[in-house]
Amino acid sequence: MTSAVADIQASKQAGPLIVHVVRQFLPNKGGLEDVVANLCRQLISRGYRVRVVTCNSLFSDPGRELPANETIDGIEIVRIPWSGSTRYPVAPKVFRHLVDADLVHVHAVDFFFDALAWGKLMHGRPMVATTHGGFFHTQKYAAIKKIWFNTATRLSALGYHSLICCSQSDARLFSKIADKRVRLIENGADVSKFSNCAALEARRRIVTIGRFSVNKRLDHLLDAMKALVARHDDWHLDIIGAESDLNRATLLKEIADRSLERNVALHVSIDDCSIRNIIARASLFASASEYEGFGLVAIEAMSAGLLPVLNANEAYKAMAETHPALMLTDFSDPEAAADTLTAAFARLEGDDLTLRRELLSDARAYAWDEVAQRYMDVYTETLTPKGKSPQLLRHRGQAA
């Protein structure tokens, strides 16, 4: 038996190959990258084969080209050239890496979402997509985005067996253009990463974690911090994340402009162990974000035992309906946000750890083993011919 024949037979006996297509991936850090990486790890552990096709440079460091091929945590990564905007990176070489896929899973609504739908006659692969908030992350160009959504995105959506939405707000939005093909699978979170590590006693210390992007409205959070420090000078904020359309210098200037150098610390691209050490000194998590696709980092904060205080955007309001322990506020009003953060601290001061146990329990519902199973059910449904039982494929994909 030749090596080539043996490879083909081995491939047939292995689980289905799921090719994930996403504009940014490891080693970049962010909510989108974390979701795809955690899903891939779960699929590998259950016998699936995975490949991630992504852009060949980090948007935060476009001058440094990454290796064309790499394996991280057992995940095959293929990186391709791109041009254009970071919101809509044009990368036509993606088609070269789909030919052996059993199923293509596109993440986010961008060039890849459109191109692979319009080119389906060429590649012929069954496809699903996860919306990750679409492209409504800010109100900028809102009218143009709405027109694009109701025309181009509506047409592109026809190429997908299912549109998987990771929040209730996403599901409401995309059901307008995809109706019954919309599936709600809320994002998983690595609830073990920072598990139960927050300070046991109430402290006036806040953590915020996320990409340094304009839509995260760190300026609003800093305004709230200025109001808090005027009331009690022991308030402290740790800002943790990676540079994006805001950089370190810009944020340091924002901090200095408010005379908050003694009360705010900036941590750029630090590892999880360092983040855990920072969380261990804190009691509260805050997010002033104008828009979230889901709010993954709030779940991770809950898993640590931090009490989240969140801007009342659509995703966070939907999350608070399910998890009443969360606190919502309007971070565009610094004094109102400071009032809510003060009230959150007071709740923790009077808590006998009942609130903490509620937060930890709510976070456990987002464990990745549960969420991955929901994705695999969608894969099985997509790959099962009409009228056939899905059981054979399900067993094949879990035969590791």
Lowest mean pLDDT among 5-9, 210-214, 225-229, 340-344: 5-9
Lowest mean pLDDT among 134-138, 205-209, 258-262, 375-379: 134-138
Mean pLDDT value across residues 308-322: 93
Q: Are residues 306 and 389 in the same domain?
A: no
pLDDT of residue 203: 98
Lowest mean pLDDT among 26-30, 349-353, 355-359: 26-30
pLDDT of residue 61: 86
In the structure encoding, which two tokens stand for residue 100, read together? 């052996």
Domains: count for the chain? 2
pLDDT of residue 138: 57
pLDDT of residue 137: 54
Q: Are residues 270 and 301 in the same domain?
A: yes
Residue 196 lies in a domain: no
**Helical residues (DSSP H) of 80-185, grouped into ranges:** 111-118, 120-123, 142-148, 154-157, 168-178
Element (H, E) at 50: strand 49-55
Mean pLDDT value across residues 183-210: 94
Mean pLDDT value across residues 347-374: 94
Q: Are residues 61 and 115 in the same domain?
A: yes
User: What is the greatest pairwise CA distance in the chain?
Assistant: 78
Mean pLDDT value across residues 29-36: 88
Residue 1 lies in a domain: no
Q: Are residues 212 and 354 in the same domain?
A: yes
Q: Are residues 308 and 171 in the same domain?
A: no
pLDDT of residue 67: 97
Residue 193 lies in a domain: no
pLDDT of residue 399: 46
Q: Is the pLDDT of residue 243 over 70?
A: yes
Q: Is the pLDDT of residue 400 over 50?
A: no
Residue 143 lies in a domain: yes
Q: Is the pLDDT of residue 135 over 80?
A: no
Residue 199 lies in a domain: no
Give the domain range for residue 348. Answer: 205-364
Residue 67 lies in a domain: yes
Euclidean distance between CA atoms 139 and 147, whole angstroms = 14
Residue 265 lies in a domain: yes
Mean pLDDT value across residues 63-82: 96
For residue 67, what is the DSSP state? P
Give the model's confidence band at 38: pLDDT under 50 very low, under 70 low, under 90 confident, else very high: very high
pLDDT of residue 8: 46
Q: Are residues 66 and 99 in the same domain?
A: yes
Q: Are residues 222 and 182 in the same domain?
A: no
Report the Cα 2 to chain-centroid distance in Å.
43
pLDDT of residue 395: 47
pLDDT of residue 331: 98
The amino acid sitting at 228 is L
Average pLDDT, the chain: 91
Q: Are residues 25 and 97 in the same domain?
A: yes
pLDDT in tens, 94-106: 999 999 999 999 9
Domain containing residue 106: CATH number: 3.40.50.2000
Q: Are residues 136 and 259 in the same domain?
A: no
Q: Is the pLDDT of residue 1 over 60?
A: no
Query: Measuring CA to CA, which residue among 383, 387, 389 is closest to residue 48?
Result: 383
Residue 393 lies in a domain: yes
Q: Are residues 159 and 236 in the same domain?
A: no
Mean pLDDT value across residues 214-243: 97
Q: Are residues 123 and 232 in the same domain?
A: no
Beta-carbon contacts of residue 293 (< 8 Å; ≥ 6 apart): 31, 131, 132, 133, 134, 137, 166, 167, 170, 315
Q: Is 90 exposed, middle or buried (0-12, 13-18, 19+ CB in 10 A)?
A: middle
Q: Are residues 290 and 239 in the same domain?
A: yes
pLDDT in tens, 3-16: 544 554 555 457 99
